[in-house]
Structure 1
Amino acid sequence: MTTFVATTKPLPSALKVGLSRTRLEVKQFFREKEQLIFTFFFPIIFLGIFSAVFSSSDFFDGKVTAATYFTPGMIASGIFLTSFQSLAITIAMERDEALLKRLRGTPMSPQSYFIGKIGLVLVTSIAQFALLLVIAGLFLGVDLPTAPAKWLNFLWIFLLGTASGSVLGIAYSVLPKSGKSASAVVTPVVLVLQFISGVYFVYNALPEWMRTIAEFFPLKWLAQGMRSVFLPDGFEVNEVSGSWQLGTGAIVLTAWLVVGLVLCQRFLRWTRDDSV
């Protein structure tokens, strides 16, 4: 008599499923031309515009060109677009389309879903940053840093900025009532933060009350941190505080990361409020 023993193949780990989800998210992202152009090329286009408009002007008594000064802000803006804005809009749309509800009915864990989203942010942010640097260096005359210490600073600023922007985007995705309203709810917030955080203007030239508001939000510290990497040595004397304040920036970005995680845990919804 033959005895058959049933065996159960263990499910793949959350990380493995999340990495597979990342590949799917990246493919979907590059298929969406509108999202690709707005999120991926928006900072690059604006850098080119500002460099052309201010091509005959030097900033801070000729110490840097317009392209050099605005490059750090555009890098920070790009990180914020690919993390906060992109996730806040796409997750709201996926909830409205009941995609999140269907995913909850599969063996894929919520951790794998968010690994896929954060993996998408990392891939697109790195690609966007690399392309922006190529254009800035080859066509706009921006001198890239060579000191290893500056690139180490860039690494932790980039990772901390990406992480905080991602969790805040996930948390903010609960506010849009529908997928159609997501852009209208998210985009104005991003634009306001860009204007008051030293992305589109010289930060020192902004009114004091704007700078005070900006100091509470992560984009200001992300942009200032990037200026510490890409602007010349000693340029920190031109900051409002007279220094790069990297320690303060790290504290603020970390605080927003923790706040975002708490908000995600407390308020994240997988279905619409009116769904059955």
Structure 2
Amino acid sequence: MTATAAPPTPTWTSMTLARLSVELKEFFRSREQMVFIFLFPMMLLLLFGSVFGGEEIAPGVTFAQYFLAGMVASGILNTGFQSLAMTISIDRDEDVLKRIQGTPLPATSYFAAKVAQVLLVSAVQVAILIAIGVVIYDVTLPSDAGHWGTFAWVFLLGTAAATTLGIAMSTLLRNAKSGSAVITPIVLFLQFTSGVFLVYTQIPTFLQHVAEIFPLKWLAQGMRSVFLPEDFAAAEARGSWELTTGAIVLAAWVVIGLVLAVKTFRWTRHDDN
């Protein structure tokens, strides 16, 4: 008899890609996530753009154009922080994480798949928002590699910070039911103080200083440097885009989120002994 060849041993890459496929299928099958990630930001952009879009906040810059940059930044935060924290918390409550821990899937593959899913979904979301801005609100896309390079590192650093913080926050939530009540006020506070729903320089100074501690302010300002005219930098709080400072703050939050995620993450429910 001819011996049956043993199936090839799964590699880390193959297991990660398989897990990514599962993550994407679960995401696109969830109506709630689809509405929250795609439809809700589009509705906000269209709503605020319709009500305040034509108002000029600086020569040649309308509120709708300013708001687009904030919504792109906010979308990255929502996908990587709010949505990810909630979905992981739900998986923990339903013992999905516990079952995954008992499989041969390496923990690094699981988290790599989560990060890849956030990157892909965020990229689609951002592309949709930019398309709306260009078609409806006359946002002019940059034509040089420098601005697109800025967009790339702001997007990647911002996504990394939001993702690591989302993983860390998922453990701080005692259960998925209370998750929305905990996370939503945090996100709303950051949105209103970081130049998303309001022009940043019109926010009280002490709230500006608070917002400067957190990633969303620097995400939004970085995106404004990409999509708004170069001379708008003079209208920023300190008269420049402060891209170096933004990169440092975002990178610091990546490290903070990573440390918190590694130190606090748990695969089982808080009441599971």
**Global fold match (TM > 0.5):** yes
Q: Which amino acid aligns with 2:39?
A: F
Match of 1:241 in 2: 238
How far off its partner does 1:9 sit?
Answer: 5.0
The whole-number CA distance in structure 1 between the counterparts of 2:81 and 2:9 is 31
Deviations 1:193-235 (A, max 9, x none): 1111100000000000110100000011011000000000121
Deviations 1:98-131 (A, max 9, x none): 1000001111111111111111101110101111
The whole-number CA distance in structure 1 between the counterparts of 2:71 and 2:82 is 15
Ranges of 4+ aligned residues in structure 1 off by more than 6 Å: none
Answering whether residue 114 of structure 2 is matched by residue 117 of structure 1, we say yes
Deviations 1:38-79 (A, max 9, x none): 12222221111111111442112x321121111110000010
- 5 Å matches for 1:124-163? 124-163=121-160
How far off its partner does 1:157 sit?
Answer: 0.6
Partner residue of 1:77 out of 74, 78, 85: 74
How far off its partner does 1:8 sit?
Answer: 6.0
- 5 Å matches for 1:39-188? 39-60=37-58, 62-188=59-185
How far off its partner does 1:133 sit?
Answer: 1.3
The whole-number CA distance in structure 1 between the counterparts of 2:2 and 2:67 is 73
How far off its partner does 1:36 sit?
Answer: 1.0
Match of 1:11 in 2: 9
Q: Check the 8 A contact 2:53/2:65 in 1, yes or no.
A: no
How far off its partner does 1:273 sit?
Answer: 2.1
The whole-number CA distance in structure 1 between the counterparts of 2:153 and 2:181 is 32
The whole-number CA distance in structure 1 between the counterparts of 2:108 and 2:90 is 19
Q: Check the 8 A contact 1:221/1:249 in 2, yes or no.
A: yes
- 5 Å matches for 1:211-226? 211-226=208-223
Partner residue of 1:32 out of 30, 33, 42: 30
Change in Cα spacing, 1:39 to 1:185, as seen in structure 2 (3 Å) is same
How far off its partner does 1:10 sit?
Answer: 5.3
Q: Unpaired runs of 5+ in structure 1?
A: none
Q: Which amino acid aligns with 1:186?
A: I
The whole-number CA distance in structure 1 between the counterparts of 2:248 and 2:124 is 27
The whole-number CA distance in structure 2 between the counterparts of 1:185 and 1:13 is 38
The whole-number CA distance in structure 2 between the counterparts of 1:33 and 1:255 is 34
How far off its partner does 1:7 sit?
Answer: 7.5
Match of 1:274 in 2: 271
The whole-number CA distance in structure 2 between the counterparts of 1:11 and 1:187 is 43
Q: Which amino acid aligns with 1:209?
A: F
Identity across matched positions, percent: 50
How far off its partner does 1:17 sit?
Answer: 1.2
Q: Unpaired runs of 5+ in structure 2?
A: none
Deviations 1:108-162 (A, max 9, x none): 1111111111111011101011111111111222222112110010001101101
Match of 1:262 in 2: 259
Change in Cα spacing, 1:3 to 1:127, as seen in structure 2 (3 Å) is closer
How far off its partner does 1:37 sit?
Answer: 0.8
Greater Cα shift, 7-16 or 70-79: 7-16
